[in-house]
Amino acid sequence: MENKVRFKLHKVKKHWITIAASSLAIGASLIGLGQVGADEVKPETTAVNSPENVVSDSNLETSTSLITRTEVAPTSTVVGNTSSEAVSTDTTSTNVASQPAEATATQPANETDKKVETAQSSETTIADRSAEPVTDKQNTNENKSEITEVSEHPLSGQEISITQGKFTSDDQGNWYYTKDGKKLTGWNNVEDREYYFQEDGKQVKGQFVEVNGKNYYLDDHTGMLLVNCYLDKDGKHYQIDENGVVTERTKLPTNITGGHFEANDKGEWSYITSQGEKLTGFQYVDGVELYFDKDGKQLKGQEITVDGKTYYLDHNTGALLKNSYRNWSEKQIIPRYKTNYIYHTSYFNRDGIRATGLVKTAAGFIHYFDENGELLKNVAVNVGDTTYVFGEGGRLARNSFIWDKVDFTFPENVNFYYGDEKGHAVKGLQTIDGYQLYFDKDGRQAKDKIVQIDGKTYYFDKTNGRMVKNQWASVNVGGISPASKDYRSYYLGDDGAAVTGWQDIDGKHLYFTETGLYAHNGIYSINGKNYLFDPKGQLVKDAYGDVVKPGFKVRFKYTYRTNADGEVLTGKQIIDGTEYVFASDGHVVDGVIGYNGKLYLVKDSKIQKNYFGAFFSKNEILGGINFTGIYGTDENGVLLEGVQRGLDGQLHYFQPKVESINKPTWKEIDGKRYRLTKWYLPEHHAGMYTTIILTNDTLKVDDKTYTIDNEGVATEFTAKNQFIRDDNWNWYYYDTDGKVLTGRQTIDGVQLYFDANGKQAKGTLIDIDGDTYYFDKDSGAMWTNRSLTLNGMTYEIDDQGRVTSSLRNTFVQDKDGDWTYLKDKGQVATGWQTIDGVQLYFDGTGKQIKGERILIDGKYYYFDKNSGELLRNAFHSFNSYIHYFGNDGAQVFGWYTINDYRVYFKEDGLQAKDNVLLIDGNYYYFNQDGQLLVNGSAKSYNSLYLADSEGKLLTGWREIDGKTYYLNPSKQYRYSNTTETIDGKTYLFGSYGELLRNDTNYGHASDENGIVRTGFYRTDKGYLCYLEPRVISYYQPTWKEIDGKLYHFEKSTSLGKDLNGSPITTNATLEKDGKTYVIDENGVATEKVN
C-alpha cells in the first residue's frame, strides 16, 4: 500500500523520494519508560532480539530499589557515543529443519508476561529499538517521504522538557501537542523526547529533516527524533548518532546463510557452515547476531566480556541484545527465612555493548550507568561541570525533587536534590514554588542546617527545607547521643538572616555573635574581651557561673568567675582579700596550676597557703572528688619541691607531691643519700600513709650502720658499744669491736638475749638449752622470781629465769581457745616442735599456730586450721590468692615441678598462668593451667608465642602456619592491631600480631611487604584517600593543601575493610571562597580561570 504524505514546514525545500519504511517500533510497551509519543499505532514486535519477558512501562519505573549513593563520573564521560545494531527478522537461506527452535531466527519472541527462572536471579529485557540488518524483503510498507530543510537545530535532549500538556489528533489523523492552550511548533522536547511540529502545529512523522546540511529522521510511528540507532530506508542503511545526525553506512556485517545448527549430547548448540566449519566469536547468522565460544558452542542467557566490553545474549535465542534494557533481580535471604530481591537494570546500545557513564538511549532518554553498567536511580551525578539529577526510573528529574535513600532511623542522612527544567541539580539559594530553599555545592538541599550566604547566616527548616524567618532556630552540631548533642541557636529576622549584636527579644536583652550565634551557656568574645553568658543568655556578673559542654558519654561542667562587667577572670586575682589563680581560659580549677613560672595548689582556684596533707580535686567527668596526692605549700601557696620540711614538722621529698612507699628505701637526691620510710600516722581524710625522711637517728640496714643528721643526710659509720635499730624497730648491740652480739648477754648488769642474727628478744619466750625464758617487752631484760601471765595462762619464773608450769607433756587451752604445749619439765613449748610425729609451731608466747601463714626465718609456712600440722605439697587459698607449699612445707617461689610439669611462682607467691615472665634474662610463657610452653606455639590475648626446647621464647621474624609474625615477648600485646617500627621500617599487624600484606586495618594500609603505606592511596572500593600514615578523617568536608597542591576531603565514611576516613574528591567542580576549582582524577584542585 502506498501512503504519500505532504505538509508544509519552515523554509521548506522539497525533494521527493520513495522509501520503504522499516519496522522502527519505539512504543511505550517496549521502552518501558513512559509514553513515547502521540501515535495511535501500536509498535510492531517482529525482531528476534525481543525480550524473553517483555514488561509494561510501570515495571521499569517501580520494580527497582533505591540506589543510595552519589556517583561522580570522570570529566571525560560523553553523552551517547554508543552504537548498536538491531536484529533482523529475515530468514532467507536458513535451514529450519536442522536448527533448534530456541535459536531459530524466524521464531517470534514471547510477548506475554512470564517469569524467567534462573539459579539466583530473574530478569527481563525491554526493547528500545529493532531491527538490523534489514533486507529488501522486509520493506513491504512503502511511504513517500520528503527531505525537508529547516532553520532550527534539533534539541540535545538536555534542554528544557515540556510536560503536563497533551497530544490530540484531528479527523485527518494529524497529531498535535497542546500546552497551556497553545499548540507547539518547531523543535520541542516533550517529556524527554524530541519532536518537530509544523507552523500549524501538526506533528511530523516518518520524514528526514535537513538542518544546516545534516539530516535527521523522525520516527514513522511516534514522530520522535531517532538517536543512537541504525535505520534502513529504500534499501539503504543508515546510522544515527547521539545527536540524531543520520549518515549512510558503507560497511555492513557479513550475513552467514546456508549452514545449520547442531547439538551435542549435552544439548550444546553449534553452527556448521556450508563449508562444514564451526563458527566462533560474533557472527551474523541468517540476520541474527550470535556469539560462539572458542570451541564453537553457542552462548545464551549470559553476559560476556569481549575486548573489555560487556554484551548480553538472549536467554532463548542467544541473539545479541541491542538498544534494550535488561532487568534482573537477585534473591537475598534475610533473617527469619524471609526473602528479599535486589533489582538491577542495564542498557545495551545499538552495538549490543553494555552502557556505562552518561548515555542517551535510542528512545532519547538520558541515563547514568555506573562502572558495572547498573542504572543509577535517585542520585545526583557530577559529569564535568554539570550535576545531573536522576529520579526513580533513572530518568532526568526535571522540575522535581529526588531523595537518595530511605532512612527512618536517621532521616538526617537522607539527601534531597532538585532538578531544574534541564534535569540539572540546582545550587545555591533558589525560589521554588514561592519558597526560598538552599542547595549546597553538590546540589544537596539544606535541611536543619545553618548556611552562610554573602556573609549572612540563614537557617533552613528541618522538615521542608524552607528559609525560616522571624523565629528561633537551633541546630545540633554534635553527636546523636544525649551527652554528645551540641545545639547552636539563632534568631532569624524579617529577611531570614540571623540577627547579630545586642538585641531585645521577648523582653530580654540578648547578644548574638557576628555570625548570628546566640550567646548563652558559654564564653563569647565582644570587642576583644571574653564574657560569660548563662543558659538563658544573661551576662554573669561578679559571680561564679557554669558552662556545660557535650561529651561522648557524659556532659562536662566547667565553672568560671567574672568581674562586675561579666568579663571572665584569668590568671592571678584577688577577690575579697583572698588570692585566686584561674586557668588561662578562665575556668575554675582544682589541683596544681602554673602561673608566672610557679606552681600553685588551688582549691576552686583559691590558693592554698601553708598547706600540707592529702588533696582532693573535683571529677569533671563523673562528679564527686578524686584523691590526687599529698602536697605541701609555703606561705604564698607555692608548691614545695625537693627535700623540705612540711607543716607536720617532718622532712619530706616533694616531687611536687609526696610519693607513697610500701617499704623503707634509699633515695639519692643531689648526690646525698636519704632514708625514706613509711610514716605510720595516716594522713587525714585520705586513709593513706605519707612518706618521711628519717632525721637525727642511727640505723642498721643489712649489714651496715648509718648515722642520719637533722637534714636527713645518711652517712655510713662503724657502731661500737651501742644499740642500733633497723627499719622494723628491732634492736641490735655492737661490742667494742663493732660486732653484733648473739645469744645470752649481760650488758650494764642486765641479762639480755639476741638471736642468731643479733636481733634482741623482747616480749617473747625463748627456748635456751631445753629451758624456757621470758624477756621484757620494753627493756628486753630477762624476768626472774615472778609470775608470768600469757594468753590467759599463769606461769612461775624461778631465780634462774626458768618459766615452768605444774603440768607436764600436755596441751592446754586458754580462755581464747588458743593452745599451748607444756613439755616434760613444765616448760612452755616455742618454735618448731614435733609432737606425736606431727610437726607443729608455737610463737614466742607459746601459742600454737593454726590456720595461719607465717614467716619463719625468712620463709613462709602454713599450719592447718584444725590440727596445726605443717602443710606440705599442696595449694592453699588466702583471700582469693592461691599459694603452693613444697615438700619441706615452705611456700614455693620461683621454678618448681608439679606432676612432671615445670611451673613458676612469682614474687607474690602466685603461680604464673596465661602470662609471659622475664626470668634470669629470658622470657617464658605459661598457659592457663600454669604449664610452661615448650617446643611449640600458643596464642593468648591477641599475641602469639613460640618457645624452644627449654621453654625460652623466640624473638624476631618467624613464619608460623603460613603467616609472618614478629615475635617480641617483651612487648607482649604491642603488635596486636597496630603499627610498629622495626629496624627503621613501620609494619602493619593484625589481631594476633600477624603481618598484614596488601591489607588495611585500623585506619592504616600496607604494601606487599607489610610496610605501612603513606601518601595517596586508592582503596579497594576505588576511593582516593591520603595516609599520614593513618588515613585522614574529617567530620565535615575540608580543604587541605598537600605538597603545595590543593585537595578537597569529603565527610568521613567507610573507604574499605577496616578503613574509615575522608575520601578525596575527584573529577568534580567545587566552589571555595567564592572561587571555582576544577578537580581532576587525582584529586588536585585547580582554580578555574574564565
Q: Convert the pLDDT of each residue in 240-297 to its tens digit.
A: 988 899 999 988 888 999 999 999 999 999 999 999 999 999 999 998 999 999 999 9
Instruction: Give the per-residue pLDDT at 621.
Output: 67
Could you give the CA distance from residue 829 to residue 808 in angstroms, rounded to a whole number?
A: 11
Residue 666 · residue 695 · CB < 8 Å: no
Q: Convert the pLDDT of each residue in 547-593 to its tens digit.
A: 999 988 888 889 999 999 999 999 999 999 999 999 999 999 999 99
Could you give the CA distance from residue 659 to residue 646 in angstroms, rounded to a whole number?
A: 14
Q: Where are the domains of the chain?
A: 571-693, 746-831
Could you give the CA distance from residue 384 to residue 1069 in angstroms, rounded to a whole number?
A: 7
pTM beyond cutoff 0.85: no
Query: Quick one: which H or E segment has residue 83?
Result: none
Would you tell me how many other CB atoms lie within 10 Å of the CB of residue 536?
A: 9
Could you give the CA distance from residue 455 to residue 470 in angstroms, rounded to a whole number?
A: 19
Looking at every residue in the chain, the average pLDDT score rounds to 83
Residue 152 · residue 194 · CB < 8 Å: no
CATH number 1.10.1040.10 is the correct assignment for the domain at 571-693 = no
Instruction: Give the per-residue pLDDT at 683.
Output: 61
Residue 924 · residue 953 · CB < 8 Å: yes
Residue 769 one-letter amino acid: D
Same fold, 571-693 and 746-831: yes
Exposed / middle / buried, residue 877 (Cβ in 10 Å: 0-12, 13-18, 19+)? exposed
Residue whose cell numbers read 536458513: 94
What spatial distance separates the first Cα and last Cα of the chain, rounded to whole Å?
59
CATH number 3.90.550.10 is the correct assignment for the domain at 746-831 = no
Instruction: Give the per-residue pLDDT at 193.
Output: 85
Q: Reduced to 3 DSSP states, what percent helix, strand and coil does the chain have, rounded to the nearest 5?
A: 0, 45, 50
Which residues in the chain land under pLDDT 50? 1-121, 129-144, 157-158
Phi, psi of 234 (to 5 degrees): 55, 35
Could you give the CA distance from residue 186 to residue 200 in angstroms, rounded to a whole number?
A: 10
Provide the greatest CA pair distance for the chain. 157
